[in-house]
């Protein structure tokens, strides 16, 4: 990892072009080696994780007051992966409250990070020392701020980029050389229909790659659909990346003849890719579909084209799937939470950091040892009533099974739900409300109050552009 143990001494503040130039050099010099890790077996991954964990803990116990207190009884030189379960869980609330003590550069603090994020638009605004920040939108809870130095920003980008490069190489070569990567990455134009601001990874990572052979062109998801269609028709991208909620709308535009592009690959990211959206996107574009999972905390993974299972980049993070009491769940059982230990971010160390996502571990692959999962959604989307708990799938199965519905937002009310739907064409909203009421009844909520209204737009988060489809009270 280039410069991974660089001392975090705050110095002059470089411009973003300078920071990007250094990071790009590191990315493309390290890409082939990172792609080769896609084929590592379980034994090699465990050896790598243990070694990286020991280095990480040795670093943070010396440089992070927060972790030094929590890990005072830990001997970093002797820790094993099995010992992680004895370490305390780290929550977002704890991290944000103690941000200045979590980070390992004494010149970095939350106030400075927030100022940089507030000044961010199409490109990240560097902090002294060249550090870069991202933020979670806070749409489902407390805002989270995450800082990366040059080495960590390089590694985060490589975690996301390596599977796409290998997949594109396979498609270009007409075969399946995975995990091969060409000596020279061929120029590729990718349309990214994602966040309107580089505070979010769907714009942060592409901004780091600007000017490289992997060319991203942004079409913010907050633009009118007609404007996005016009931009894509002019661009004619080699690949189309974006939020599945918008990819499904663009698929409808393609089917209607208003959009006319022929991407070699479609990549879904940042939201759940539901079966109905996948089918519509595949039918419209006739291209292989990849699905991506990535978090601002540094965990990343992707499916191979047209596969549903996501392979996590466990060379970058140790991942624990646990129940509500933080006990491990068996393969095939949806987790209540995911605990992540980021092995490469030495600036803002995350050790057993709690994510609210629900993963189900899938059978291991004979081709590699990385963890394979399906993403079931977020545990904080469950609607809890006095008499029942309703999983979001209860609503999705009805709403996404209604062909007139392009997308939706469902809010929990005292006795049921209030739903706003974005329609492709007129629909019988009374019938839809009845179907939702019946589904809620089968889930244990009889005689639920259900209101359904058609709207012209659905609200998206101003920084991330994400939709939040299910909103508990």
CATH at residue 281: 3.40.50.12780
Of 376, 398, 431, the residue at which a domain comes to its end is: 376
Domain count, the chain: 2
Residues 370 and 386 both lie in one domain: no
pLDDT at position 467 is 67
Which pTM does this prediction carry? 0.80
Report the CATH number at residue 387: 3.30.300.30
pLDDT at position 406 is 74
Residues 206 and 324 both lie in one domain: yes
Residues 279 and 167 both lie in one domain: yes
Distance CA 5, CA 83 (A): 24
Of 338, 356, 376, the residue at which a domain comes to its end is: 376
pLDDT at position 463 is 58
Q: Going residue by residue through the chain, which has 473 residues, state the pLDDT in tens, using 9 for 90 and above.
A: 434 444 444 557 889 999 999 999 999 899 889 989 999 999 999 999 999 999 999 999 999 999 999 999 999 999 999 999 999 999 998 999 999 999 999 999 999 998 998 888 889 999 998 999 998 754 444 678 999 999 999 999 999 888 887 777 666 665 544 444 445 566 788 899 987 778 888 889 889 988 888 888 888 877 888 999 999 999 999 999 998 878 988 999 999 999 999 999 999 988 778 787 889 999 999 999 999 999 999 999 999 888 889 999 999 999 999 999 999 999 999 999 999 999 999 999 999 999 988 899 999 999 999 999 998 876 556 788 998 878 676 787 687 667 688 778 899 999 999 999 988 788 899 999 999 999 899 888 999 999 999 998 888 766 555 667 788 88
If DSSP states are collapsed to H, E and C, what string results for the chain?
CCCCCCCCCCCCCCCHHHHHHHHHHHHHHHHHHHHHHHHCCHHHHHHHHHHHHHHHHHHHHHHCHHHHHHCCCCCHHHCCHHHHHHCCCECHHHHHHCHHHHCCCCCCCHHHHHHHHHCCCCCCCCCHHHCEEEECCCCCCCCCEEEECHHHHHHHHHHHHHHHHHHHHHHHHCCCCCCCCCCCCCCEEEEEECCCCCCCHHHHHHHHHCCCCEEEEECCCCCCHHHHHHHHHHHCCCEEEECHHHHHHHHHHHHCCCCCCCCCEEEECCCCCCHHHHHHHHHHHCCCEEEEEECCCCCEEECCCCCCCEEECCCCEEEEEECCCCCECCCCCCCCEEEEEECCCCCCCCCCEEECEEEEECCCCCCCCCCEEEEEEEHHHCEEECCEEECHHHHHHHHCCCCCEEEEEEEECCCEEEEEEEECCCCCHHHHHHHHHHHHHHCCCCCCEEEEEEECCCCCCCCCCCCCCEECC
Residues 285 and 362 both lie in one domain: yes
Residues 290 and 409 both lie in one domain: no
Residues 251 and 392 both lie in one domain: no
Of 376, 408, 428, the residue at which a domain comes to its end is: 376
Residues 21 and 112 both lie in one domain: yes
pLDDT at position 9 is 47
Residues 252 and 401 both lie in one domain: no
Distance CA 361, CA 364 (A): 9
Residues 390 and 365 both lie in one domain: no
In sequence order, what are the residues at sequence separation of 6 or more whose Cβ sits closer than 8 angstroms to the Cβ of residue 472? Answer: 380, 381, 382, 383, 384, 412
Residues 429 and 333 both lie in one domain: no
Residues 324 and 391 both lie in one domain: no
Residues 371 and 391 both lie in one domain: no
pLDDT at position 8 is 47
Structural domain boundaries, residue 425? 382-471
């Amino acid at each position: 990892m280039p410069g991974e143990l660089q001392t975090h001494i705050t110095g002059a503040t470089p411009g973003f072009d300078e920071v990007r130039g250094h990071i790009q050099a590191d990315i493309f010099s390290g890409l082939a080696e990172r792609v080769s890790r896609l084929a590592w077996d379980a034994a090699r991954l465990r050896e790598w994780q243990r070694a990286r964990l020991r280095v990480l803990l040795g670093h943070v116990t010396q440089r992070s007051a927060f972790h030094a207190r929590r890990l005072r009884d830990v001997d970093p030189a002797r820790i094993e992966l099995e010992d992680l379960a004895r370490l305390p869980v780290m929550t977002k609330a704890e991290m944000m409250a103690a941000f200045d003590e979590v980070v390992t550069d004494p010149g970095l603090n939350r106030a400075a990070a927030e100022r940089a994020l507030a000044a961010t638009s199409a490109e990240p605004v560097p902090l002294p020392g060249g550090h870069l920040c991202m933020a979670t939108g806070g749409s489902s809870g407390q805002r989270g701020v995450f800082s990366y130095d040059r080495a960590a920003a390089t590694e985060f980008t490589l975690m996301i980029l390596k599977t796409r490069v290998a997949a594109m190489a396979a498609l270009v070569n007409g075969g399946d050389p995975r995990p091969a990567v060409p000596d020279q990455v061929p120029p590729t134009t990718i349309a990214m229909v994602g966040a309107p601001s580089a505070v979010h990874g769907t714009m942060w990572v592409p901004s780091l790659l600007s000017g490289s052979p992997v060319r991203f062109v942004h079409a913010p998801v907050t633009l009118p659909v007609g404007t996005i269609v016009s931009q894509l028709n002019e661009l004619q991208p080699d690949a189309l990346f974006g939020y599945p909620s918008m990819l499904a709308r663009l698929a409808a535009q393609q089917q209607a003849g208003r959009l006319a592009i022929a991407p070699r690959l479609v990549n879904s990211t940042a939201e759940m890719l539901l079966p109905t959206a996948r089918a519509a996107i595949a039918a419209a574009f006739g291209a292989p579909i990849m699905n991506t999972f990535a978090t601002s905390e540094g965990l990343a993974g992707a499916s191979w084209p047209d596969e549903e299972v996501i392979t996590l980049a466990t060379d970058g993070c140790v991942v624990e799937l646990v129940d509500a009491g933080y006990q491990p769940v068996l393969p095939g059982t949806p987790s209540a939470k995911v605990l992540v230990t980021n092995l490469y971010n030495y600036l803002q160390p995350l050790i057993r950091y709690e994510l609210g996502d629900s993963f189900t571990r899938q059978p291991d692959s004979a081709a590699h040892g990385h963890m394979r999962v399906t993403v079931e959604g977020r545990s904080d989307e469950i609607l809890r009533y006095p008499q029942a708990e309703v999983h979001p799938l209860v609503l999705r199965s009805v709403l996404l099974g209604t062909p007139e519905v392009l997308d939706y937002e469902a809010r929990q009310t005292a006795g049921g739900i209030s739903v706003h739907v974005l329609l492709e064409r007129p629909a019988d909203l009374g019938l839809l409300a009845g179907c939702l009421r019946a589904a809620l009844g089968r889930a244990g909520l009889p005689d639920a109050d259900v209101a359904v209204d058609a709207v012209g737009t659905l609200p998206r988060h101003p920084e991330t552009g994400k939709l939040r489809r299910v909103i508990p009270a």
